[in-house]
Every structure is written in C-alpha cells, then in structure tokens.
C-alpha cells in the first residue's frame, strides 16, 4: 500500500512578492528549497495563514540568499506581500518506508531567515 506523507514544510514563510503577470508558480530562495529538500518544479501546496487561502502550484528557484517567496501568476490573487504562508511538499511511499519517514520542517521568521528545524511536529495537547 502507498501512503502520501508530508515530505517538507517551510513554516510561516513571509510573502515578498505577488507577481500577477509572471508565468506562474512560486519562486523560493534556492537555499530555502535546499534546506527543505524541495525540488524546482515540484508540486507544492500553499496555505495562507493570513487570509485562509489554500492552493497548489509548483516551486521554482529564486536567487540563493535572496529570501524571496514570490507567489506568481493566477495564484498572486491568493497572497499579498507580508502574508505568512505554510509551504508544503508531499511524497508517496510504501507503508514500510512511511513508518520510518521524517519530514524536513523549516521554521522561518518574518524575514524568511531559518530560526530552527525539526523532523517531527510536537504532539498537540488537549
């Protein structure tokens, strides 16, 4: 049986640009893509914490060190500069592999600087 699990997450990324006339996708600083293990052209899900929008697109690389998070094309209607986003990538894997899987969780501040990383989300208390 195949299972789809969270592969990577950029948590609370801050939108730097919303480019309606760009070809499409979401540009992410290359160093942030590398930290999360997200590939250019990989499908990503974006959850806008600021306005509640949720949408799918694909990642493209922005200049390393730029801290760019640019929501482009039609998706630019769903995010504005300053919005906080959760950007996720998922992977399908066999159940046995899934039991040992640990996602790459990258936590960012308001300047898209990495504050810390994890490979598990703490258990939510009641």
Active centre residues (catalytic):
25, 58
| Chain-centre distance for alpha carbon 120 | 16
The label of the residue with tokens 């930290």 reads: 35
CA distance 93 to 84: 29
Work out whether strand 2-14 and strand 43-48 pair parallel, antiparallel, or are unpaired.
unpaired
């Amino acid at each position: 049986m195949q299972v789809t699990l969270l592969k990577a997450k950029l948590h609370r990324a801050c939108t730097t640009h919303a480019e309606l006339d760009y070809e499409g996708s979401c540009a992410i600083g290359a160093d942030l893509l590398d930290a999360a293990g997200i590939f250019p052209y990989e499908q990503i899900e974006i959850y806008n914490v600021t306005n509640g929008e949720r949408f799918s697109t694909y990642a493209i690389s922005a200049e390393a060190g730029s801290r760019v998070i640019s929501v482009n094309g039609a998706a630019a209607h769903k995010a504005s500069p300053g919005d906080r986003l959760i950007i996720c990538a998922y992977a399908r894997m066999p159940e046995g592999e899934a039991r040992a899987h640990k996602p790459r969780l990258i936590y960012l501040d308001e300047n898209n600087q990495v504050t810390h990383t994890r490979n598990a989300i703490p258990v939510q208390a009641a």
